[in-house]
Amino acid sequence: MNDKKLVIALTKGRILEEVLPLLETVGLSPAEDINKSRKLIFDTNLEDIQLMILRGSDVPTYVELGSADIGITGKDILMENGSDGYYEPLDLKLATCRLMTAAPVNQTTTPKRLRVASKFVNIAKNYFSGQGRQVDIIKLNGALELAPIMGLADCIVDIVDTGNTLKANGLETREHIADVSTRVIVNKAAMKIKHDRIQSLLERLSEAVSD
């Protein structure tokens, strides 16, 4: 852990697009255009803060192990990974969506033992076991909508935003598992060592989100 710099790990993609303007409102901006660079670590307008750009699924690991002091990623990632290695002090209410099950529109009966395709293996397991339902989980990393169409699975567990992709592939949402939004996580050791700086940033972000 860098005791001098405050390192913030940001998630690539939609979350990054929505978080950068929010950071600017609290006086923090990258020293160069992130979207035009292949770099993964960026200096900012504040000498003691650096930004790191990662895949969402890697953000908790970097924060938990102390390579980043603060992380910003989706609640779905945190639910899937589950950890005691960091605090989750703030919901930024950005990049909101839902975690849901989805199945073919014309599917009227469901087998006793469901075959569920998802990249969220742990979330799916926990959800169905909590209902006392027996399932076989099939891990896929993309194009989940194909699984029911091709007979690989009876349903899927996935992030749903507009639902247009599901409709285009003959699927419909069924069961609501969780609401998802962008969360701030903080390394536990960093919260002690760099408490004042981290707390100040959290307070400014909280204020900006509630405005």
- Cα distance between residue 77 and residue 59, in whole Å: 9
Q: What percentage of the chain exceeds 70 in pLDDT?
A: 99
Architecture of domain 97-178: 3-Layer(aba) Sandwich (3.40)
For the chain, give the number of residues.
Answer: 211
Amino acid at 179: D
Q: pLDDT tens digits, residue range 113-161?
A: 999 999 999 999 999 999 999 999 999 998 999 999 999 999 999 999 9
What's the order of all strands across the beta sheet hosting 114-118?
135-139, 114-118, 155-160, 97-104, 171-180
**Full-model pTM:** 0.91
Fold: same for 6-95+181-210 and 97-178: yes
Domain ranges of the chain: 6-95+181-210, 97-178
Architecture of domain 6-95+181-210: 3-Layer(aba) Sandwich (3.40)
Q: pLDDT tens digits, residue range 65-115?
A: 999 999 999 999 999 988 778 999 999 999 999 999 999 998 888 788 999
Q: pLDDT tens digits, residue range 24-75?
A: 999 999 999 998 999 999 999 999 999 999 999 999 999 999 999 999 999 9
